[in-house]
Amino acid sequence: MKKVFILLALFVIVSVTNAVEVDFSAAELSMNDDNTIVFDGVRVEGFGFSLEKDALKLKYKFDPDTLNFKLDMDNYVPYMGIGIFNGQCMVNDAPVTSVTTDDDGQEVESRQPFYTTNAETSYKKDEEEFIIAAGDLIEAGKSSYRFLVSPDAPFIAEFDLKLNQVMSWYVNRFTKNINYQLVGPEVQTEAGTTEPGEIIDSGELERSEQLLLGPIRVIKAGIYKLKISLAPKQKDTSFVFKAFNGNNKTLKKVVNNTRLSEFFENDTFSCSKFQISLNRNEILTVPASENNDLVLKLINSKSKVIAQVTGNSDLVYKELDKNNDYYLFVYSKASKRATYSKKITIVLEKPEETTD
């Protein structure tokens, strides 16, 4: 209850004295069927919150008596330590989940989470078949696996997800109608009891369709469950399943004449990210991608979009203020295979020549 009273005091003080800053500009807005408005990603400065480190998900209920929307104090979600983000891209790197050694003896870090399923699967490597038993750890990433679902045995995959992972799930090649449901971590109540997690997404798919679920930003760590079951009166079917953390790349600092060379895979929500420092009157130019599916997005330290282009347009931004850090996101809006290889420029605007 203490956090609720702190948040209530925060908004009262904001509205009366403007003692702290509340920024809705980068929040995603949605309207629910129950006459509520949700702002996801509100940035707050003060009372234990930081504009650059934390965010809030706020819900406003419509009050028919006053004809106004009021903040629902029982259903706010604090994203503590989530960092700067906008849309599907996050500045904070996802945690390292495993370290392996390649053929050259170099350590390779992976930021793909592990998951388990209640069904076994198999795969081939160098013409040899390997079995993954039910309950064994499977690393998400590039590999996809085939599973079986039957009327009396729905498929359940459990993911132990961490902050700053951005997940997608791809399901295809099934021959029967199926249902799916993604559920978030269980909720601990103030009374000490446990309640089922929030249903993040659900639906029914016909056999001619495919499912690309995501991108889901993980702002609450815990066990996420994806359930796939058969629609009524359907028989056994197999399907191909792949999970992917789109925030698997690390933040890179770039300067003038840095070449960005990035590759984006099919059926994922992968995002490349770069930190750029600009001084007053410097002009940043990020060349056009020449691909109508690629997005170039520049945001500031408050997660607000400063400039954004898609396809055959250069992203150009001039710094009019003092020295500031910005973040460039590059990603495929359609989750299609794409490449981006261009050199960015940062030049100081030349003063206009004057004639006597």
Q: What is the CA radius of gyration of the chain?
A: 23
Range 180-198 average pLDDT: 87
Q: Are residues 239 and 290 in the same domain?
A: no
Range 318-323 average pLDDT: 89
User: Does the pLDDT of residue 6 top 80, yes or no?
Assistant: no
Q: Are residues 72 and 150 in the same domain?
A: no
- Closest alpha carbon to 291 in 267, 270, 318, 263: 263
The CA distance from 199 to 202, in Å, is 7
The CA distance from 297 to 131, in Å, is 43
User: Does the pLDDT of residue 307 top 70, yes or no?
Assistant: yes
Q: Are residues 238 and 258 in the same domain?
A: no
Q: What is the pLDDT of residues 246-258, one digit of tens each?
A: 999 999 999 999 9
Segment (H or E) for 3: helix 2-17
User: Which pLDDT value is given to residue 4?
Assistant: 43
Q: Are residues 168 and 204 in the same domain?
A: yes
The CATH number for 324's domain is 2.60.120.380
Whether 88 is covered by a domain: the verdict is no
Whether 233 is covered by a domain: the verdict is yes
Whether 312 is covered by a domain: the verdict is yes
Q: Are residues 194 and 103 in the same domain?
A: yes
Whether 93 is covered by a domain: the verdict is no
CB 242 within 8 A of CB 269: no
User: Does the pLDDT of residue 13 top 70, yes or no?
Assistant: no
Q: What is the pLDDT of residues 78-122, one digit of tens each?
A: 889 999 999 899 999 999 999 988 888 889 899 999 999 999 999
Whether 228 is covered by a domain: the verdict is yes
Q: Which two tokens stand for residue 128?
A: 């040899």
Please state the domain count of the chain.
3
- Residues whose CB falls within 8 Å of the CB of residue 237, separated by 6 or more in sequence, listed in order: 148, 149, 174, 175, 176, 178, 207, 230
160 — pLDDT class (breaks 50, 70, 90):
very high
Whether 106 is covered by a domain: the verdict is yes
End position of a domain, from candidates 46, 81, 116: 81
Could you give the 3-state DSSP secondary structure of residue 86? strand
Say what the alpha-carbon torsion angle 128, 133, 137, 138 is, to the nearest 10 degrees: 50
Whether 90 is covered by a domain: the verdict is no
Q: Are residues 131 and 63 in the same domain?
A: no
User: Which pLDDT value is given to residue 31?
Assistant: 83
Mean pLDDT computed over every residue of the chain: 87
Domain extent at residue 51: 2-81
| Other C-beta atoms lying within 10 Å of the C-beta of residue 327 | 22
The CA distance from 246 to 275, in Å, is 18
356 — pLDDT class (breaks 50, 70, 90):
low
Q: What is the pLDDT of residues 19-42, one digit of tens each?
A: 478 888 888 888 877 778 998 888
End position of a domain, from candidates 198, 215, 245: 245
Question: Phi/psi zone of residue 45: left (φ > 0), alpha (ψ -120 to 50 degrees), beta?
Answer: beta
Whether 353 is covered by a domain: the verdict is no
Q: Are residues 123 and 225 in the same domain?
A: yes
Distance (Å) of CA 75 to CA 8, 37, 64, 146, 287: 12, 12, 19, 39, 43
Q: Are residues 117 and 232 in the same domain?
A: yes
- According to DSSP, the residues that pair with 44 across neighbouring strands are 22
End position of a domain, from candidates 18, 52, 81: 81
Q: What global pTM score does this model have? A: 0.86
Q: Are residues 235 and 309 in the same domain?
A: no
Range 235-256 average pLDDT: 95
Q: Are residues 225 and 110 in the same domain?
A: yes
What's phi and psi for 162, nearest 5 deg?
A: -115, 165
The CATH number for 35's domain is 3.10.450
The CATH number for 212's domain is 2.60.120.680
138 — pLDDT class (breaks 50, 70, 90):
very high
Q: Are residues 131 and 11 in the same domain?
A: no
Single-letter amino acid, residue 274: F
Q: Are residues 54 and 115 in the same domain?
A: no
Could you give the 3-state DSSP secondary structure of residue 336? coil
The CA distance from 288 to 167, in Å, is 27
Going edge to edge, which strands form the sheet with 294-299?
252-254, 271-278, 324-332, 294-299, 305-310
Distance (Å) of CA 254 to CA 283, 303, 309, 319, 343: 14, 19, 19, 16, 10
User: Does the pLDDT of residue 43 top 60, yes or no?
Assistant: yes
